[in-house]
Chains A and B, each alone.
Chain A
Amino acid sequence: MDLTRRRFLELTGSAAAAALAHELFGLPELNAQNTGAGKPSEALSALAEVALARAKKLGATYADIRINRYRDQVVALRSTPDLATGKLNHVPAVRDTGSFGFGVRVIANGTWGFAASRIVTKDEIARVAAEAVAVAKANSALQKQPVRLSPVKAYVDKYTTPHQRNPFDVPIAEKLALLERANAEVKAVPKVFSANSTLVAHSEDKFFASSEGSRIQQYILQCYGQVTAAARDLERRVSRQRNYSPSPYTAGWEAIEEHDLPGNGRRIGEEVVEHLSAPPVTPGRKDLVLMPNHLALTIHESIGHSTELDRALGYEANLAGTSFLTPDKMGKFRIGSEIMNIQGDRTLPRGMSTVGYDDDGVKATEFDIVKNGVFQHFQTIRDQAHLVGEKESRGCCYADSFDSIPFQRIPNVWLKAGTKPMTLDDLIAAVDDGILIDGRGSWSIDQQRYNFQFGGDAFWEIKGGKKGNMISRVAYQSRSTDFWSSFEATADQRFWQNHGLTSDGKGQPTQINAMSHGSSPSLFRRINVLLTD
């Protein structure tokens, strides 16, 4: 019998063999204060010790272990009329997903090695640690420069996403009732074809221990929901959708209640019907007023990805690509106008990438990415900081699963609000011929993050400083530096909104990451607008 089969069967028969996830991690604390003096679980520390000792004994110069548990809950409701009878069918989906396991990362012979398993026993931890060392030693034959880690303090702490009500504790019936109300509001608008709504809760119980002395336990909680309206015109063979996708947050159920899905359901129902018969855009150079829930993705693609150091150095060349920003441009290359100020930040309240510590064990921090239009710093992790002459990691390390290898990921990357008093109406008033764009549509950008094309979820014509009716079939194209150079004004702090993204893919095998890109509504001059199909 081969090894994996034996291990699988051993577990299936016996309750005693492996630790149960919920017992190891305990219950998350409501309204956590995160003072920096939290106490991680002793049972987890004892398991971690096995990996660290084993790796050291086999010659590893560095080792860490992450023991993680993930939970996802999706509750969805699709309300579509039966084509024959017209009766509304409400099709539910209710799903709980979980996974649990550990990954061991080592440096041996100056080379990284990694191995993982879902069987959380001391024997298996020792075996996997040895496998990680073996992988590192085998790979060292092709290593040119030994891995170098920037220094980090040894932290012993516990961090919990601040939240008032855990979404996993909210009864399914309460969630479904909310979705029913939201779909009903959408469908109350005549001419709406179907309504679709979803609630998602995601949690990560993470324990990190390193051979440098850190013992960090974290509970990260994400919560979000959305509602979609669809309308169609069979004669013209045209269908449109409109979403209300309020920002995903690291937060509890209280965030969902703030979003008012039903109230916004009625609005998007009305807007999708207007969009269905909205006239097409006249293409050409136009001014764009972009709402925060749209600009989030533009920031993400043009600045979030281009300032990843691993891309700039060529580590992602085979898939995600490289970057128009290179290390020699730090501190001097102008990306955009003087009012462009962008932060990298893992401390932003409710930010989707907000944590206590990253997956290298580096304390969450905030740093300048762009200051007054000039590129300042890359996003880094511990094995990269020295490559750009920096002393410390910027804390951007993340792995999406216990069995994924941690690497550099985008933190919260947000655009600072304007410093002068300015409202959305002021921005619109400054536009003679332009478009107001709300929400996300299609998006695409090249592998060095120069040329992009974005759509949107809804578009309104701006003529003579006034917001007019909806228009359709809009996309815009630009180059990252041209686009940010045309950035003329942004509304003040009163209009600043956080906007989270949940499914950024990077790496091979692909890993998923979430982060937030906040901004205020912003004005960009003379952007190339296309008429799409």
Chain B
Amino acid sequence: MLSRDDARKLIDQVLSYSKADDCQVTIGERDLAQTRFAVNSITTSGRSDGVAIYIWSTKDRRTGQVATNETSEDALRKAVARSEELAGFAPPDPEYVEPLSPQKYPEIPSYDAATAAAAQKEILSAVKTAVEASQAKGVVSSGYYERTASALALGNKRGNFAYATRTRAEYSLTSRTPDGTGSGWASAEGHRMGDVDGARIAGIAIDKAVLSRKPRPLEPGKYTVVLESAAVSDLLAYMFGLGGVFDARAAEEGRSLFTRRGGGTRLGEKMFSEKITVRSDPFDSRNPGRPWVGNVEVEIGGVGQIFFGGAGVAGPSYLPTEKIDWIEKGVVKNLVYTRYWAEKKGVNPTPLPAANLVMEGEDHSVEDLVRSTERGLLVTHFWYIRYVNLQTVQVTGLTRDGLFWIENGKITHPVMNFRFNESPANVLANVEMLGRPELSDNRIVPAMKVRDFTFSSVSDAV
């Protein structure tokens, strides 16, 4: 992995080719080991080492952006020259924000040497456990295990520099009964492979597959639901992060849930249940974040986002990361202010665009939530959620891999999957009881009991 010194040298090398007023560079290196299996057998598996170098050159508020994975001296010179050439063509950006002067970035331990050293052999052992357990129970399992180790660095002509390393392991599997009427799913993740208990999630997925066999249809309508933490995390992705729902500018421009009637924002309003407290906390050791805002690693090898000027809504600001409350006891505490919008509004920029989410819970297990429910549905997780109306955050999607009827505090039978049309904003208002927070899909969230959740049609899918 690229060391701090190597990263600094490489960034200095790139900056030394720059003739622009400003130049900003980010580097990411990612070692990915991954294995997919399906129908109780490995389908694809591989190892790759990806690199991405992003360069922003600015002259007279005109910015050109280049990304490359070629790191020879010649290629780097050409990349810098190209970014300057593009800057020359671009018109001046009226919303340009200057690169940061040297910042003090926090150290956040998120690298685990044992995880970085692990690869195919360790992954294979988890896969073998699942396959053997599946065969023993007569179900068919499919899954995906990946582990990444990455080094990330940023620097600019004004002397700012930061470096961080990171590891992560993610494992999910789906078990299906051979008659095709039952399906169960479970996942585990963490920055340490040691935290990913493969045998445990294989057990959950297999049990759910067997329990969900031969589901019965139920009329669509409004029901009380117990959402497991994975289902909560699936929904909250559409409230925090995706779509820019918390973006202050979108609110003020009249495009968001947080737009006040007639103009302005709903900051400070109590819009949700008193039980709801949500923050971003990159320092939470259960899911440590990055030292700065904006990441590099997801873009490696993929088609990158468009960054308007490197500082717009979608762009990374590279400010030091901080803990911040979004909702406190149901009250909207903060909205996301980009550096441009913050400067315009005379407020401090928000350090995080709703990453590293942590929602407070209550001291209840999922079983407790079920026990407290007279009539309702237990939801394992959701699938294919899309916005129907970004302004109300109405989304649609489907339940998947285990939907069960609850009667008088007990699970009685599996139910056919439903499509839902609902807003997570309503869900956060209609909460009745919370479980203990757990890490699921990068968010630490509790299971939830929620009233009046709207299911709109039945799906035949298993």
Chain A interface (Cβ within 8 Å of chain B)?
Answer: 2, 4-5, 7-9, 11-15, 17-18, 20-21, 72, 74, 76, 78, 80, 82-84, 89-101, 103, 111-118, 131-132, 135, 138-139, 141-145, 171-173, 176, 193-194, 198, 202, 230, 232-235, 237-239, 313-319, 321-322, 324, 401, 403-405, 407, 442-451, 453, 455, 473, 475, 477, 479, 503, 507-509, 512, 528, 530, 532-533
Contacts and interface: CB of A to CB of B under 8 A. Distances in A.
Contact of B39 (A103, A172, A314, A324): A314
B49 A4 contact: yes
Interface in B100-140: 120-121, 124, 127-128, 131, 140
Chain A contact residues, majority secondary structure: mixed
A90 B91 contact: yes
A20 B47 CA distance: 23
Contact of B124 (A141, A233, A319): A141
B69 interface: yes
A532 B1 CA distance: 50
Given A21-B70, A315-B142, A447-B398, 5 more contacts: A91-B94, A96-B64, A239-B255, A321-B461, A403-B48
Contacts of B87: 94
A232 B48 contact: no
25 contacts: A4-B1, A20-B74, A97-B66, A97-B304, A135-B45, A142-B41, A142-B127, A142-B131, A171-B89, A172-B86, A173-B89, A230-B255, A232-B254, A234-B254, A237-B261, A239-B391, A316-B142, A317-B142, A318-B185, A405-B46, A442-B388, A446-B400, A450-B461, A509-B32, A532-B388
A235 B261 contact: yes
B423 A533 contact: yes
A401 B301 contact: yes
Contacts of B176: 314, 317, 322
Interface of B: 1-3, 6, 10, 13, 29, 31-32, 34-52, 63-76, 82-83, 86-87, 89-91, 93-95, 120-121, 124, 127-128, 131, 140, 142-144, 146, 172-174, 176, 180, 183, 185, 252-255, 259, 261-263, 301-304, 306-309, 312, 344, 383-389, 391-392, 394, 396-398, 400, 417, 419, 421, 423, 456-462
Contact of A453 (B35, B42, B75, B419): B419
Contacts of A4: 1, 29, 31, 49
Contact of B42 (A74, A111, A479, A533): A111
Contacts of A401: 301-302
B460 A8 contact: no
A95 B461 contact: no
Contacts of A114: 44-47
A91 B96 CA distance: 8
A20 B75 contact: yes
A15 B89 contact: no
Nearest to A76: B306
Task: Enumerate the 4 nearest inter-chain pairs by beta-carbon distance, A residue then B residue, closest first.
Answer: A114-B46, A172-B89, A446-B461, A451-B459
Contacts of B10: 12
Contacts of A76: 306, 308
Nearest to A317: B142
B43 A315 contact: yes
A447 B383 CA distance: 8
A142 B37 contact: yes
Contacts of B124: 138-139, 141-142
Given A98-B70, A198-B306, A477-B457, A446 B419 contact: yes
B306 A234 contact: no
Contacts of A509: 32, 34, 146
Nearest to A406: B44
